[in-house]
Amino acid sequence: MKIAVFSTRSYDQYYLDRANTAHELIYFNNHLRPETVRLAEGCEVACVFVNDQLGRPVINALAAGGVRLLALRSAGFNHVDLTAAADAGITVVRVPAYSPFAVAEHTVALMLGLIRNIPRAHARVREGNFSLEGLLGFDLHGKTAGLIGLGRIGVLVAKILNGFGCRVLAADPYARPDNNAAIELVDNQSIFSQADIITLHCPLTPQTHHVIDATTIEQMQDGVMLINTSRGGLIDTQAVIKGLKTGRIGHLGLDVYEEEGDLFFDDLSDKIISDDIFARLLTFPNVLITGHQAFFTHEALTAIADTTMVNIDAFAAGQRSGNEITKELVTGS
Ligand code: NAI
């Protein structure tokens, strides 16, 4: 099959070429947008990533150009208009799991980086400044961590935090207790009121959009640490900035950002950042941001490429892939 691969970076091409056995892959550096959708003309598959735009106009244009399969190189599918895809007769497949360890470990890396001020300490040492003023941390041991979302990644984060000696609370309306981890299943309210560290591991849905907002921040402990490696839209960034200014939020670690589509995955180091909210976040000494790299390990990229090719092979063979995004998956029924 002829496959248009959007948002390609050198690593995507390397791992997809390794996994490909039968197909013609055409790589585009461009993100998929209304103005770039014509690049897929004549291809049967469009292979996309998290910041490609897949609203109805793009989906319809893909279908008009011959695309019948949308192969997501991600687990999250909140950026895809699935109704439009169904209307256009386009099948959508994804990579439901690719090293949840990668994301869980990065989540804890953000926590530790913030707690022990690692980026600031490193910058000082490079300058020959060995002062410890302002670098005071705290022990993770004995702290209460609250997880919102206890799926594949959440459970791993819980287990790692168990290892540090944390008390772990988790809120997830659909979670089943895991006997291999010490986790107390609670509601969001208990997390907001009790947790020293709150970390988000649920998908972005209408129910979880801005689960962290001015109201919920008010319910949190003073100086709480907030970590988001899931999706930017879970957090109302303006409310979080207010929380940082008042000190209610003591540390913020982000791997995702609501408006990341115009920023992440590109080298903008010689450009002016026009997003004033993001620019404000960068001014806080107690904020640590990575550019959606939690998934970015050798193991995860191998799994993403392998599963993407298995999904495409199944479609080419006329089989239904177990990784198809169905209505049941979306409604949770
Ligand atoms: P998963 O599907 O295994 O787990 C998600 C959990 O969230 C499920 O247990 C579900 O019941 C729960 N959930 C759903 N609605 C909820 C609600 N209203 N409140 C609380 N919990 C709710 O997904 P997985 O693999 O653990 O991934 C979690 C999220 O991590 C993904 O949705 C994705 O957005 C994000 N992610 C980020 C990556 C990165 O590189 N930063 C890479 C991969 C995933």
User: Is-contact 93 321, C-beta < 8 A?
Assistant: yes
Residues 6+ apart with CB under 8 A from 11: 296, 301
Q: 189-198, 203-212, 322-331: which range is least confident on average?
A: 322-331
Q: Which residues surround ligand 1 with Cβ inside 6 Å? A: 75-76, 97, 100, 103, 148-154, 171-175, 201-203, 205, 207-208, 229-231, 255-256, 292, 294-295
Mean of pLDDT over the chain: 95
Domains of the chain: residue spans and CATH: 2-98+298-331 (3.40.50.720), 100-289 (3.40.50.720)
Question: Does position 333 have pLDDT exceeding 60, yes or no?
Answer: no
CA atoms within 13 A on the CB side of 314: 18
Grade residue 178 by pLDDT with cuts at 50, 70 and 90.
Answer: confident
pLDDT of residue 330: 66
| Catalytic residue list contains 280 | no
Question: Which candidate, 57, 121, 74, places its Cα nearest to that of 285?
Answer: 121
**CA 271 – ligand 1 centroid, Å:** 33
The DSSP line for 100-156 is: HHHHHHHHHHHHHHHHTTHHHHHHHHHTT----TT-----STT-EEEEE--SHHHHH
Other beta carbons less than 10 A from residue 137's beta carbon: 12
Tell me what the mean pLDDT of segment 188-207 comes to: 97
CA of 95 to the centre of ligand 1 (A): 13
Span from the CA of 319 to the centroid of ligand 1 (angstroms): 27
The confidence score (pLDDT) of residue 321 equals 81
Tell me: pLDDT of 121 over 70: yes
pLDDT at 179: 79
Which of 103, 185, 288 to mutate for ligand 1's pocket (most ligand atoms within 8 Å of CB)? 103
For ligand 1, the distance from its centroid to the CA atom of residue 21, given in whole angstroms, is 31
pLDDT in tens, 271-280: 999 999 999 9
Q: Give the number of the atom of ligand 1 that is nearest the alpha carbon of residue 78.
A: 34
- Report pLDDT for 155: 96
- Minimal-distance CA residue to ligand 1 atom 30: 230
CA 295/CA 98 separation, integer angstroms: 8
Long-range (24+ apart) CB contacts under 8 A made by 58-61 are 58/32, 58/33, 58/34, 59/84, 59/85, 59/88, 59/90, 60/84, 60/88, 61/34, 61/37
pLDDT on residue 262? 87
Active site residue 260: yes
Amino acid at 216: T
| Sheet hosting strand 91-93, strand order edge to edge | 24-27, 2-5, 45-48, 69-72, 91-93
pLDDT in tens, 289-326: 999 999 999 999 999 999 999 999 999 999 988 899 97
Catalytic-role residue among 79, 231, 248, 251 = 231
For the chain, give the number of residues.
Answer: 333
State yes or no: pLDDT of 249 exceeds 50.
yes
Q: Which helix (H) or strand (E) holds 315?
A: helix 298-316
